[in-house]
Structure formats: structure tokens, C-alpha cells
Amino acid sequence: MPQVCANGLQLEYESFGAGSDPAILLIMGLGAQLGRWNVELCEALVARGFRVIRFDNRDCGLSSKLDESAVPDIGRTLRSGAPLDAPYTLEDMAADCIGLLDALGIERAHIVGASMGGAIAQIVAARYPQRTLSLTSIMSTSSHPDLPPPTSEAARALFAPLPPTRDREALIEDAISRQLAVASPEYPSCPQRLRERFTEEHERGFHPRGVARQLAAFLACGDRRALLATITAPTLVLHGADDPLIPVACGRDVAAHIPGAELRVIEGMAHDLPLALTDVFADAIVALASRAG
């Protein structure tokens, strides 16, 4: 896959479809590589007349690693309430997205983000309205402190330390277990496909230091409600009714604070992008894009 220099970093990306078609930029979440956007979804969007770009965020996959920066002690911060010293911010990661569009010669795009990527997408839409055709925020939040927290099981999946035995198989099993803790109950993943995905991710770019820095950026971001109120792009909020990590109330809150936003709650969906819902996601994103023009 190719790389471009964007915002002073090397970003690994993949493009589907014709360069002349309107662009959809897919922004993935915490520690998740570009392959978490199922190729089936990318192809479904291309079949509906769009160019699709997916990429590895900074500190993830094959994009630049910021290992000159320290790894924040997130556990100490959560225990003590002390300020979190994040090496970079979600605003920086939003600027990466714009840098990627610049490098690819894309003036405006439909911005789609999932989980932490949804938060980044919100910032792109708010800070760069002239570059944003539409916004689709999937299973994300405004990060307001009064919103409900993850379930205890989902929180353990997010914050638990890596297994003491850090051989390849133990780490792959650990990644699968964390995913299953937040997976959609009514749309289970194929076990073989799930293992293949996490095996590929492990071999392609296992980088826990980067995950910690991304998490610090997300936790340090703070309440975005005032920023959401400035978004002018047509907006769709998609959220799973059964999300244990970012509860559906968080999605409702995002929609409530973006003027004119449409909310769609998907029954049986949790905190993943089930293959069975590919056409649901594609149709929803394209319907919004068509309204946006």
C-alpha cells in the first residue's frame, strides 16, 4: 500500500474506486488499523459511486510511530485524577486527516469516523467546514463527563494490561478476547475471520505504545459539546443499541448537539462494524452523501 507525507508524518493509506468520484474518508478508532474498515464496506461504497480512502492513524499500523514521545501513565491518572499529559491531541489527528486529503489532492470529502475516529471526524467537520461535505459519526461520543461510562466488562477490555506471556499466540488471543467483549450480540463474527484479522494486525504492526498515546489523546480531549454546535455539514449519527463501551446515550448526545443531525440507532449492534450490516452502513452513508450533494 502507498504512503504520503501528511502533517509531518508518513501515513499509510489505501484508495478504492475512481479518483474522479466524490471521496469518502474513513477514520478508524483507538489502536485500530485501516483493515477494521471491512473491504466489503469499501467495495459497497465504490459500487454506489464513491472513491473510498482508509488509512492507519498516526502511531498505528504502518503509519509513523511517535516513539520519541513518552508513554503516558493512564492508570495513575485514572486512579488519582491528576491531569493527563498527552503527547498529542485529537486536534492533531484531525489535522492528519486534512493533510492526507491535501496529499491526495482532494478538496472536499464525506467524513466518516468510528469510535475515537468518530470524535476525530467531529473535529474535522467543526474545524475544517470548507473540507467537509458530510459527517457520519459512528459509535462515538461528545465526551461530556455526565454521560454513562462503559460497562465493567467493556472497561476491562479497554484498560486491562497485556498478558504476562507476550508471545505471538497469547497476544492474538488477548486481542480476540477484547474484541468479543464489545462485539455485537446479534451479529457475531466468523471465528476464523476474526482470528485472521487479528493475526494480520499483529504481524503488520503490533504497537501498544502507540495505543496508549492515542488513548491519552482521546481521554485528554474533553467535552466537545460546544464544538459540535458549530458543525454545519449534514450529519448522521449511527450507534448500536447494545454498545457496552460507548453507550447509546453518548450517540444520542452527539446528535442532540449537532444542528440538524439525524440519529439512527441500530438494534443488536454493539461496538464493532459487523459484516452483516455492511449494506446498512453503506446505504446510510450514501443517503447522507446524496442529500449533502
pLDDT digits (tens, 9 = 90+) for 188-230: 999 999 999 999 999 999 999 999 999 999 999 999 999 999 9
**Cα pseudo-dihedral 67, 116, 34, 73, rounded to 10:** 20
CA angle, 120 then 282 then 136, to 5°: 25
Q: Indicate whether 83 pLDDT > 80.
A: no
- Length of the chain (residues): 293
Quick one: pLDDT band at residue 62, thresholds 50, 70, 90? Answer: very high
**Predicted local distance difference test score (pLDDT) of residue 165:** 87
**Predicted local distance difference test score (pLDDT) of residue 78:** 73
Quick one: pLDDT band at residue 24, thresholds 50, 70, 90? Answer: very high
User: Mean pLDDT over residues 27-51, rounded?
Assistant: 98
Give the three-class secondary structure for 136.
strand
Quick one: pLDDT band at residue 74, thresholds 50, 70, 90? Answer: confident
Lowest mean pLDDT among 80-84, 99-103, 168-172, 243-247: 80-84
- Indicate the pTM of the whole model: 0.97
Lowest mean pLDDT among 51-60, 74-83, 227-236, 282-291: 74-83
Q: Packing angle between helix 278-292 and helix 39-47, nearest 10 degrees?
A: 40
Give the chain's domains with CATH numbers.
3-151+208-292 (3.40.50.1820)
User: CA nearest 124: which of 36, 41, 27, 29?
Assistant: 27
Q: Indicate whether 76 pLDDT > 90.
A: no
Question: What type of residue is 173?
Answer: E
CA angle, 130 then 217 then 100, to 5°: 40
Pairing of strands 262-266, 235-240: parallel
Q: Phi-psi category of 233—alpha, beta or left, where left has phi over 0 and alpha has psi -120 to 50?
A: beta
**Predicted local distance difference test score (pLDDT) of residue 127:** 98
Q: What is the Cα 149 distance to its own chain's centre? A: 18
**Long-range contacts made by residues 124-131, C-beta under 8 angstroms, separation at least 24?**
124/27, 124/94, 124/97, 124/98, 125/231, 125/233, 125/235, 126/224, 126/227, 126/228, 126/230, 126/231, 127/91, 127/94, 128/94, 128/98, 129/231, 129/232, 129/233, 131/98, 131/101, 131/107
**Predicted local distance difference test score (pLDDT) of residue 20:** 96
Between 164 and 11, the more confident residue is 11
User: Mean pLDDT over residues 27-47, rounded?
Assistant: 98
**Cα pseudo-dihedral 126, 132, 134, 135, rounded to 10:** -40
Q: Where are the beta strands (DSSP E) in 56-195?
A: 109-114, 132-138
Q: Indicate whether 169 pLDDT > 90.
A: yes
Q: What percent of the chain has pLDDT over 90?
A: 91
Quick one: pLDDT band at residue 181, thresholds 50, 70, 90? Answer: very high
**Predicted local distance difference test score (pLDDT) of residue 288:** 98
Helices then strands, counting H and E runs in the chain, come out as: 11, 8
Question: What type of residue is 34?
Answer: L
Q: Are 163 and 170 in contact (CB under 8 A)?
A: yes
